[in-house]
Copies of this chain bind each other. A is one copy, B any other.
Amino acid sequence: MTKYVYDFHEGNATMRALLGGKGSNLAEMTGLGLPVPSGFTISTQACMEYLANGEQLTEEMIQQIETYLARLEAETGKSFSKGDNLLLVSVRSGAAQSMPGMMDTILNLGLNDVNVERFATLTGNPQFAYDCYRRLLHMFGNVVYEINGSHFERFLTNYKETHQRENDQALTVDDLKVIVAAYKGIYKKIGQKEFPQDPKTQLFEAIRAVFSSWNNERAFVYRNLNDMSHQGGTAVNVQEMVFGNSGQNSGTGVAFTRNPSTGENKIFGEYLLNAQGEDVVAGIRTPLPVSTLSEVMPDVYAEFIRVANLLEDHYRDMQDIEFTIENGKLFMLQTRSGKRTAKAAFKIAVDLVNEGKATKDEALMQINPKSVDQLLHPTFNPVALKIADLITDIGLPASPGAATGNIYFDANAAKAAVQAGEKVILVRQETSPEDITGMSISEAVVTSRGGMTSHAAVVARGMGVCCVVGCEQINIDEDNRRVSYPGGQLEEGTIISVDGTNGAIYLGDVEKMPTEADESFQTIMAWARERSHLKVRMNAETVEDIKTGLAFEADGIGLVRTEHMFFKEERLREMRRFILSNRAQEQNRALSAILNYQIDDFVNIFSLTQDKPVVIRLLDPPLHEFMPHTKQEITHVAEQLGTTYAELQQRVIDLTEVNPMLGHRGVRLAVTYPNLYLMQAEAIIRAAVQVNTATFQVKPEIMIPLVGMKEELALLRQQIEKHIEELLKELGVTVEYTIGTMIELPRACLIADQLVDYADFFSFGTNDLTQMTFGFSRDDAGKYINQYISEAILPIDPFQTLDVEGVGELVKIATEKARQKQADFKLGVCGELGGDPNSIEFFHQIGLNYVSCSPYRIPIAQIAAAQSAIKYATM
């Protein structure tokens, strides 16, 4: 028999998955001997089975709930229907992870037309009893029958106005009786239902409603937005009511044990006297600072402070507490880890350690890695956002930040505007390498197509430029230089504000709040680096990016994308000359020219990275990416290279591929044009020789991309080694270089043990590996991937967070095969997932040596790496 129900004595804080956050903490507080009203929790497992069972409670669940209800009646000496002492309960949802979208609460359950009178007699306070009944009708109708709360509110407001009652407290018993009758009328008229008079029926309907709410749209969207699984379910907590609204000696409040905005170590909270539940949050009456309670009820305040400190000490973290005072007695209704700003999070974490209240590990675990972005990028003022004109809020948040500027539709227009002193936002359907300069000078980049790993997203993230991609609601007409969106049109030059942290775009200039990395941040990051097993490298090739990464103490470079270097004007010309030529001599002349540029590139990199390892990926993209495509460009390039339009056009056509992602690129290019990689290898070695000093030796790690067969790697390794050895002999020096490969094809994973024989290291290229494993083209997936996520066909976007079952399984297979062959074989990740906390946890678990990500994600990765080390050390 499955146990579906637990009373508060049976649970504890470790049972969060089964009992939800609220239930497990109520049980934990009960265990600590704190004043918690009695109750029981119906498990998340019951919820999932209820949902799988066509939204029906099973016989077994019903029986267990009945049993625990009887126990609750016995424990409290109260009863739903019999005897003198009336049992009223609250029913609240509580999932394992806090989830605002679904948090439905019903108070005062158990009241009905008869019980309300008994309750009036019992409390000697008919006004209080009818107020409770009125509240129950409102909440129950709203939560269980989905009657919009405004129907009740409107009637109440109206009534108070027409009867000149200043506030709720001013309502008389007779008023409340009229209101109760009217509310029941709303049930019939709007809900087409009667309010159930039987308390048990109320209870079971409330439980069903909470369980069903797991799948309501708000909850669903919330989980999607927060990368949460749809498989957890919510628990239901049934708890004896205590009444903060039973007079002036009662009240209710919420408090944080420290300031959640600044992190200051000072209790922070609010309360209302003679009020119940949601009144504090609802904002109808203005609550008082919790500190004033010390004057109103000094004993209660002292007890509250004692409990708050005890809870913070016990949980070793800042707590968010809900409490109620019933006739001068304090009751704890909830405690949980308090939400906080990133700034506060770092300060609290450091303070707790300094106060001896938490260990460094515990402090590190309190930091949400994703919140680090907030610290490093400005954010919009939330107050200003409330009144801002929204253009769209369903773009993909590709690169965090808050930016404002005038929109321009191409890189040249953007450049001109910047020269004229404007701040610009580059708006394009999608970006290509030719837009890079334009992107780098923009405040933000917005595209209507592409996903989180599209060109725009990857490049902007690398640059730290705010970016929103895949804004499908907006239509970008580049030809007519106009954007249309559901609410209107934007001409070139219009000012917009872009929130790269959540994917929203606003009209006009929205006020921003600066944020900065402070001492707490530095302390936490140092602890994180100390604690991690995984090293964190950067994906970078520009001086600016590398400096950023080094400032975050990156452990070297995990990916230099050499193709970016080929798009500069003069190299592009030589590269095109190389591609066009059929004669070895002419090809070699072009390569010699590029060689010199490449040496400079690598000298620039090595001079910064010094003795840190640097993985350099040899040329990867298909050749047609280097070719001109428009008629105008072809004409220009043909002139430049001294060839005919027809010949150049023919070569462009020859190079065109049906599926370039699966085309003639990576190592396949090198098999066809061996000199290409030899030139790059030579440049790397010559640069290393140039930069090496007596005090440090640079450590280039040469990486061959897109290998699928050991024969490819064997061939290229042999060619490159031979070329380098001859070169070093000629130069009479040595360089500590290694040669490895990128693992980005499913086949490479399956034969990883064979590849080990020819590689000094592997770096998993999770972008391409995800594309091949799913058969998704990241350039095209935008057409259906959002639908897949919103319909829960995909739990996550696999380009943002590792798909553990598919792509992860291949990474695991490769890791096991490689390490079986060579136990200490060096393994890293250089895809975009290298900066994603969930993915990092997986990479830690399977024992990779490092992850590599764009410079601005390094702190996130460092925190995630430390948390993984902590998590799996204690398991």
Q: Which residues from chain A sit less than 8 Å from chain B, CB to CB?
A: 657-664, 668, 671-672, 706, 708-709, 711-712, 715, 744-747, 750-751, 754, 768, 771-777, 779-781, 783-784, 787-788, 791-794, 803, 805-807, 809-810
The answer, among B660, B751, B781, for a CB contact under 8 Å with A806, is B751
Complex Cα–Cα for A803 and B715 (A):
20
In the complex with contacts A672-B787, A788-B671, A658-B777 CB distance below 8 A: yes
A793 with B746: CB separation less than 8 A: no
A774 with B659: CB separation less than 8 A: no
Among residues of B, the one whose C-beta sits closest to the C-beta of A745 is B775
Complex Cα–Cα for A525 and B779 (A):
49
Chain copies in the assembled complex: 2
Q: Which residues of B contact A792 (CB under 8 A)?
A: 711
The answer, among B777, B793, B807, B809, for a CB contact under 8 Å with A659, is B777
Q: Which residues of B contact A794 (CB under 8 A)?
A: 709, 711
> Smallest distance from the beta carbon of A682 to chain B beta carbons, Å?
23
Q: Which residues of B contact A709 (CB under 8 A)?
A: 793-794
The answer, among B659, B754, B768, B806, for a CB contact under 8 Å with A708, is B806
Among residues of B, the one whose C-beta sits closest to the C-beta of A807 is B747
B660 with A658: CB separation less than 8 A: yes
Among residues of B, the one whose C-beta sits closest to the C-beta of A654 is B783
- Choose among A661, A792, A807 the residue with the greatest number of B CB atoms under 10 Å from its CB: A661
Complex Cα–Cα for A747 and B779 (A):
19
Q: Which residues of B contact A775 (CB under 8 A)?
A: 661-662, 706, 708, 744-747, 768, 772
- Choose among A661, A780, A788 the residue with the greatest number of B CB atoms under 10 Å from its CB: A780
A777 with B657: CB separation less than 8 A: yes
Among residues of B, the one whose C-beta sits closest to the C-beta of A665 is B775
> Smallest distance from the beta carbon of A476 to chain B beta carbons, Å?
13
- Given A659-B780, A747-B803, 17 further pairs, Cβ under 8 A: A657-B777, A658-B777, A658-B779, A659-B779, A662-B775, A664-B784, A668-B784, A671-B784, A671-B793, A709-B793, A711-B794, A715-B793, A745-B774, A747-B775, A747-B805, A747-B807, A772-B772
> Smallest distance from the beta carbon of A385 to chain B beta carbons, Å?
33
A747 with B671: CB separation less than 8 A: no
B671 with A780: CB separation less than 8 A: no
Q: Which residues of B contact A774 (CB under 8 A)?
A: 708, 745, 747
Among residues of B, the one whose C-beta sits closest to the C-beta of A668 is B784
Complex Cα–Cα for A708 and B746 (A):
14
Among residues of B, the one whose C-beta sits closest to the C-beta of A754 is B805
> Smallest distance from the beta carbon of A631 to chain B beta carbons, Å?
15
Complex Cα–Cα for A784 and B657 (A):
12
B671 with A806: CB separation less than 8 A: no
> Smallest distance from the beta carbon of A433 to chain B beta carbons, Å?
14
Q: Which residues of B contact A715 (CB under 8 A)?
A: 791, 793
The answer, among B661, B664, B810, for a CB contact under 8 Å with A746, is B810
In the complex with contacts A661-B662, A663-B780, A750-B805 CB distance below 8 A: yes
Among residues of B, the one whose C-beta sits closest to the C-beta of A808 is B750
Enumerate the 7 nearest inter-chain pairs by beta-carbon distance, A residue then B residue, closest first. Answer: A662-B777, A747-B806, A659-B777, A658-B779, A746-B746, A711-B793, A657-B780
B810 with A771: CB separation less than 8 A: no
Among residues of B, the one whose C-beta sits closest to the C-beta of A664 is B783
> Smallest distance from the beta carbon of A621 to chain B beta carbons, Å?
13
Q: Which residues of B contact A773 (CB under 8 A)?
A: 708, 745-747, 750, 772
B771 with A662: CB separation less than 8 A: yes
Complex Cα–Cα for A746 and B777 (A):
14
Complex Cα–Cα for A774 and B709 (A):
9
Complex Cα–Cα for A668 and B783 (A):
10
Task: Give me 16 A-to-B residue pairs in the complex whose CB atoms sit less than 8 angstroms apart, sorted by A's number.
Answer: A658-B779, A658-B780, A659-B660, A659-B777, A661-B662, A661-B775, A662-B776, A663-B777, A663-B783, A708-B775, A711-B794, A712-B793, A745-B774, A746-B773, A746-B806, A747-B803
Complex Cα–Cα for A784 and B664 (A):
7
> Smallest distance from the beta carbon of A660 to chain B beta carbons, Å?
7
Q: Which residues of B contact A768 (CB under 8 A)?
A: 775
Complex Cα–Cα for A668 and B776 (A):
10
Complex Cα–Cα for A781 and B672 (A):
13
Complex Cα–Cα for A668 and B708 (A):
27
> Smallest distance from the beta carbon of A220 to chain B beta carbons, Å?
14
Among residues of B, the one whose C-beta sits closest to the C-beta of A771 is B662
Q: Which residues of B contact A657 (CB under 8 A)?
A: 777, 779-780
Q: Which residues of B contact A664 (CB under 8 A)?
A: 780, 783-784
Complex Cα–Cα for A664 and B780 (A):
7
Complex Cα–Cα for A682 and B793 (A):
24
In the complex with contacts A746-B772, A774-B747, A807-B747, A784-B711 CB distance below 8 A: no
> Smallest distance from the beta carbon of A773 to chain B beta carbons, Å?
5
B662 with A662: CB separation less than 8 A: yes
Q: Which residues of B contact A783 (CB under 8 A)?
A: 663-664, 672
Complex Cα–Cα for A781 and B658 (A):
10
Q: Which residues of B contact A793 (CB under 8 A)?
A: 671, 709, 711-712, 715
Complex Cα–Cα for A807 and B708 (A):
11
Q: Which residues of B contact A787 (CB under 8 A)?
A: 671-672
Among residues of B, the one whose C-beta sits closest to the C-beta of A793 is B711
Complex Cα–Cα for A381 and B747 (A):
43
Q: Which residues of B contact A671 (CB under 8 A)?
A: 784, 787-788, 791, 793
Q: Which residues of B contact A706 (CB under 8 A)?
A: 775
Complex Cα–Cα for A716 and B775 (A):
19
Among residues of B, the one whose C-beta sits closest to the C-beta of A672 is B784
Q: Which residues of B contact A780 (CB under 8 A)?
A: 657-660, 662-664
> Smallest distance from the beta carbon of A271 to chain B beta carbons, Å?
46
Complex Cα–Cα for A747 and B810 (A):
9
